[in-house]
Structure 1
Amino acid sequence: MMRPNVVVLIAAALAPPAHGIRIVQSNDDGWAELYVRTLNSALRAAGHAVVLAAPAEDMSATGSRDEPPAPRAGPCEYASCPPRAGPVGSNATRPDLTWVNSFPATSIRYGIDSVGPRLWRGAAPELAVTGPNVGTNLWLSVLISGTVGAACFAAHDAGIPAIAFSGASAQRAAWDVSPVPNRSIVYAQLATALTNKIVASGKPYLPEDVFLNVNFPKVEGACTNATDFKWILSRINPGTFSRPDVEWCDSTRLPTELSVAGRDGCYISVSIGDASDKTTVNDGRQKVVLDKLRDMLVCLP
C-alpha cells in the first residue's frame, strides 16, 4: 500500500477532475511494478474508482497476445504472490488490485469483464489507462509493446477510450520500495493530470477506436518537477506519404514522437493512435482530440 505522505504529495500537485469516473488500469511490466502502483494511488487520490488488472510478472514486448490465464508454479514478480497461487489472484486486502497469469491484453480483458463489474455492481469501466511503462514506447516499438497492446484491446475490442503512458526513466522497482523515487511520483502526477483533462473534456472522452500514446522524458536534470514538463501533440509514424494532419503550430504535419523525444527539454509526446493497427490516426479524429487538449499543449521551439 502507498505510504500516506506519498499520497498527499501526489494529490496536492493535481487539479481535481470535474468528477471521478471508473477506470481500468493495466501495464506490461507486472502488477507489482512501482510505476503502475504509484499511478493507481494518484488516480484514486484524485477521486477516481480504479481497478488494476495486470500480468503476474513482466510481460514486456508481448504486443496484443491474448491467451487464457494458466496456473502459476512460482511466485509472482517481487514475491508479490505465493507459488502455486492459481491463474488469477488479488491482493488480500485490496480486491481492486488483481494479477492475471497471462499477457497484458488478457489482463485488461479480465479487468473489464470481471474485476470492474464485480466491484462496481455490474457497471463497466469508462476509461482505460495503461502504464506508465518502464521505458519508452516510440514508433516501431509501439507495435510490440504490451502496454500499448492492452490499451488497444480496450479501445478497439472493448470500445473503451484508452491512454497508454510510458516513461524514459527505465529503472525497475517493486511496489513497496521506500522511499518512493521522485521519477515514479512525477510520472504519476503527469499521467493523472492528462487523465483528468480528458475526463473534464466530457464524453465521449476520445473518438471511437482511438488511444493516446504518451511518452514522458527522463526525470532528471531540469526535468524533476511535474511543472517542468510541456505537452506536445505528435504522431507515431512519420507519415511522409499520408494526407495532412490537423493544422497545429502553423503546420499540417505533426512532429513524430521520436523527434519530440530527441529534443532537449522536458517535452512529453502525445500521439493520437488508431487502436486497430497502432499507427497514427490521420483523419477528423485528430481535431477532436486537439480541441480537448488544446489549452495544455505547446509548440516545439
Structure 2
Amino acid sequence: MRAQVLVALLPALGAQGIRIIQSNDDGWAELYARSFFNALTAAGHDVVLSAPAENKSGASSLDVEPSARTSPCEYDSCPANSGPIGRNETSPRLNWVNSFPVTAMRYGIDTIAPPFWNGAAPELAVSGPNVGSNLFLAVQFSGTVGAAVHAAKSAKIPALAFSGASEGNLAWNTTPEPQRSTVYAQLATTLTNAVIASGKPYLPEDVFLNVNFPEVTGSCTDAAQFKWVLSRINIGTFSEADVEWCGDDRLPTEQSVADAGGCYVSISVGDANDKTTAPAEKQAVVLRKLQSMLTCLP
C-alpha cells in the first residue's frame, strides 16, 4: 500500500503540487476534462487546460496551426468569430485552441502555460479522460493518446492518457455532476498522484501511460472499489517478453482486462515512438513505481 500511503500523506509531508498541462480530444468544455481539472487543482496541483475548441475525437496525431473560429465553440462555450485561441476570462487556466488535440497540447506546453509559471515548463502532461475507451487498435487513432504522445516524445514531458468506458458527451456545466464524471476524475487523480509520489523522473523517456477505466455502473460506482492492473496495448504474440509480473512474462492486454468484468483499470506502458507497448525494461521501471497499488487478474 506504499503508493496509496504516500499519496495520502502528501499534504501532511508538506509536498508541493506540481505544474501539470492538460488536454483531451473531446473539447475544452467537455465535463470529463473539467471534472479532472477540478480534482487535480483540489489536490494542490497547478493545472493549465489547453484543449480543442470542439470535439476532435479520432484525430490521432494531426497537428495543424489553429485558424480563427467562425462559429461558437462546443456547447456555446465561446462566441463566434473568437479568433484561433481563447480562454475563460474568469478562469484563465481554461484555454481552447481551434485545432487538433496535438496542436492544443503543443500550444499549451509552448505558449499558453509558461506565463502562469514564470516561464517554467510543465512537469507532467495528462490527457482526458476520454469519453469512451481507447483500447488496442483504437490507440493509434485516439486524439487523447496523440496529445499525450506529443508531450512524451516531442516535448520530453512524462504523460498519462486516460479514457473511460462510460460514454455520453456532457457539457462542462451539467448539473448535477454525473457520478461517472466524478469517479473518473477521482481515479485519474489517484494515479497521477501515485506517479508523482514515486519521484522524478516520473516515467522513463519516450513513455506514456495508457489508462482505461471500466464503466461506472453496478458495483463499480465508488473510486475505492476499482483495482489497477498492469497491461499491454497490443496482443504481443511476436513481441519480446514483458516484465515478469503475476507469475508470467506476458502482461494481459487492455482488452482482456476490460473483458474480465469487475472494476479493473488497465495501465499500459506505451512506447511514444509508435503507440505500441514499451519494452520490458521500461515496463519494469513503471512496475517498481506502482507495484504497491497493482493487482493481478483472477
Q: TM-score, normalised by structure 1?
A: 0.95
In the alignment, which residue of structure 2 is the partner of 1:15? 8
Q: Does 1:38 align with 2:35?
A: yes
Residue from 209, 223, 226 that aligns with 1:212: 209
In the alignment, which residue of structure 1 is the partner of 2:255? 258
**2:280 and 2:252 mapped to 1: Cα distance?**
16
Q: Deviations over 1:23-65 (max 9, x none)?
A: 0000000000000000000000000000000000000000000
**2:30 and 2:241 mapped to 1: Cα distance?**
39
Gaps of at least 5 residues in structure 2 are 1-6
**2:210 and 2:151 mapped to 1: Cα distance?**
13
In the alignment, which residue of structure 2 is the partner of 1:224? 221
**1:83 and 1:76 mapped to 2: Cα distance?**
7
Change (3 A) 1:109 1:119: same
Q: Give the alignment of 1:1-301 within 5 angstroms.
A: 15=8, 17=10, 18-301=15-298
**2:269 and 2:35 mapped to 1: Cα distance?**
25
Name the count of aligned residue pairs.
288
Q: Which runs of 4+ in 1 moved over 4 A?
A: none
How far residue 16 of structure 1 moved from its aligned partner, in angstroms, is 5.9
**1:143 and 1:289 mapped to 2: Cα distance?**
22
**1:157 and 1:258 mapped to 2: Cα distance?**
28
Change (3 A) 1:145 1:16: farther
**1:115 and 1:205 mapped to 2: Cα distance?**
23
CA contact (8 A) 1:31 1:54 kept: yes
**1:283 and 1:235 mapped to 2: Cα distance?**
10
CA contact (8 A) 1:128 1:154 kept: yes
**1:124 and 1:282 mapped to 2: Cα distance?**
28
Gaps of at least 5 residues in structure 1 are 1-13
CA contact (8 A) 1:16 1:46 kept: no
How far residue 15 of structure 1 moved from its aligned partner, in angstroms, is 3.2
**1:102 and 1:16 mapped to 2: Cα distance?**
40
- Percent identity of equivalent pairs: 65
Compute the RMSD of aligned alpha carbons.
0.8
**1:225 and 1:283 mapped to 2: Cα distance?**
32
**1:190 and 1:128 mapped to 2: Cα distance?**
16
